[in-house]
Amino acid sequence: MRREIYSKLLLWKNNPNRKPLIITGARQVGKTWIMREFGKNEYEEVVYINCDNESRMEKLLSDDYNIDRILLGLQAISGINIKENKTLIIFDEIQQIPRGLHLLKYFYEEAPNYHIMVAGSLLGITLNQGTSFPVGKVDMIDMHPMNFTEFLDAIGQEQFRKILDTQDWSLIDSLSTKFIEFLRQYYYVGGMPEAVDSYCKYKDLAQVRSIQNNILKAYRNDISKHTTKTESVKIGQVLDSLPSQLSKENKKFIYGVVKNGARASEYELAIQWLIDAGIVHKVNRIKEAKMPIKFYEDISAFKLFLLDLGLFACMCDVPAAEMLIGDNVFVEYKGAFAEEYVLQQLICQNMKPYYWSSDRSPAEIDFIIQHENKIVPIEVKAEVNVRARSLRQFINDNPSLKACRFSMLGYADQDWMINVPLYSVCHFSSLKLD
């Protein structure tokens, strides 16, 4: 599978100021696979240590952080002669070893010519941040589920991905029927690598759903493993409420949807747990569209989105025929799937989305992005019905801005706004918005 993170790993490898690298991300987004694939392609040898089932690692780090002694120990465990700049050392599930993360500081300070790559669940890395976390001594890269263009490559449609890369809008528009067909498939399968791999090999939709259900079960097992019974129940309630939260016309998170009479104080920690685990993304409201946008953040109002569109479809239990054949996925569900999809593609581009809503009317802008030196209001339309009163009024009130609308219509530049096909969201960061 082609993963866009690969190019970032190459930059890391070739950086003379390279530090040990931590790849963060939710469970099962492909961290282990990409580390091993990168090591196989770019190094003479790979030392792979799974800290979850290698009991000798804890003993190796129990006395001190003498790098020469630790390197000899790693050689004994792996059977590989470790060479500077030519061997990639991978520590998987490093959060399972109490002193594992702190080891990276000593590799950085005493043995910088050894290439170290580390992965663990985002939750595990977060829980270990404290006195033992090597602040300033590591590089970090986030990894997410596969985006739409990675999905196209995986299902054997590389030529269509390359067409999207050209941003030749007349050519892209002429192939809209095919792109919509692939987008339907992505709505169902999503970007979790195991689900995508199964779909590519077998085209068995029931098996894809089974894999997605197992991933959700694994997340729930993590919840019960790392929290008390009371906390686990609250986290599960928040997670279960997401389909109802996002199916509302106004997708602002409402605590009463979780449980009648629920208050923020009861569920704030549950929400933060899901964010720390990488399972949900929180999109905060802003009061004004001014730079820097963070200054105008209203943390009391927010939306929550699941990390992956396919997992969201699985949670909603939408039949395959509804998504792959019928029009409901684009017409019904009040745009829930379209917004979930757009959010996922923006996150993959390292964007930090916010949203805006009026204090005086129902007007709302789905997402607001600060990209480079611009603020970009974004409206998401699931189909070709693109009436946009809120967006038009928002631009009238903020005439220095230019908006972006994602819909099923073709590309069009209307001076105050550009319309971009939904299947081109992955190229948002390269769009001309002047």
SS3 78: helix
Arithmetic mean of pLDDT, 394-416: 94
User: Looking up tokens 């689900």, which residue turns up?
Assistant: 195
**Cα 14 from Cα 306, distance rounded (Å):** 34
pLDDT reading at 350 higher than 90? yes
List the chain domain ranges: 5-142, 148-430
Place of tokens 């077998």: 202
Asked if the model's pLDDT at residue 396 lies above 70, the reply is yes
pLDDT of residue 130: 47
* Token pair 């894999």 in the structure block, residue: 211
What is the rounded CA–CA span in Å between residue 337 and residue 190? 11
Chain-centre distance of CA 111, in angstroms? Answer: 32
Percent of the chain with pLDDT over 90: 79
- Per-residue model confidence as pLDDT tens digits over 228-266: 999 999 999 999 999 999 989 889 999 999 999 999 999
- At 295, the pLDDT band (50, 70, 90 cuts) reads very high
Say if CB 103 and CB 71 are below 8 A apart.
no
On the question of pLDDT at 392 being above 70, the answer is yes
The answer as to CATH 3.20.20.70 being correct for domain 5-142 is no
Residue 157: both structure tokens together:
């449609």
Mean pLDDT, residues 329-336 taken together: 69
| Confidence (pLDDT) at 225 | 87
- What's the pLDDT tens digit per position in 2-40? 999 999 999 999 999 999 999 999 999 999 999 999 999
Q: Given this model, what pLDDT does residue 387 score?
A: 74
Q: What pLDDT does 177 receive?
A: 94
What is the average pLDDT value for the chain, to the nearest integer? 92
Q: Is the confidence at residue 60, as pLDDT, over 50?
A: yes
Is residue 127 scored above 70 in pLDDT?
no
Q: How many CB atoms lie within 10 A of CB 182?
A: 18
Q: Measured over all CA atoms, what is the biggest interatomic distance in the chain, rounded to whole angstroms?
A: 68
pLDDT, position 61:
86
What gap in Å lies between CA 62 and CA 203, rounded to an integer? Answer: 48
How far apart are the C-alpha atoms of 124 and 93, rounded to whole Å?
Answer: 8
Percent of the chain's residues with pLDDT above 70:
95
Contact, 310 vs 188, CB < 8 A?
yes
- Supply the angle between the helices 229-247 and 309-316 in degrees, to the nearest 10: 90
Helix axes 158-166, 176-189, angle to 10 degrees: 120
Q: Report the C-alpha gap between 82 and 89 in whole angstroms.
A: 8
Give me the sheet containing 45-50, strands edge to edge.
Answer: 45-50, 87-92, 115-119, 21-24, 139-142
pTM score, whole prediction: 0.94
Per-residue pLDDT band for 131 (boundaries 50, 70, 90) equals: very low
pLDDT at 334: 61
Query: What is the tens place of the pLDDT at every residue in 414-432?
Result: 999 999 999 999 999 998 8
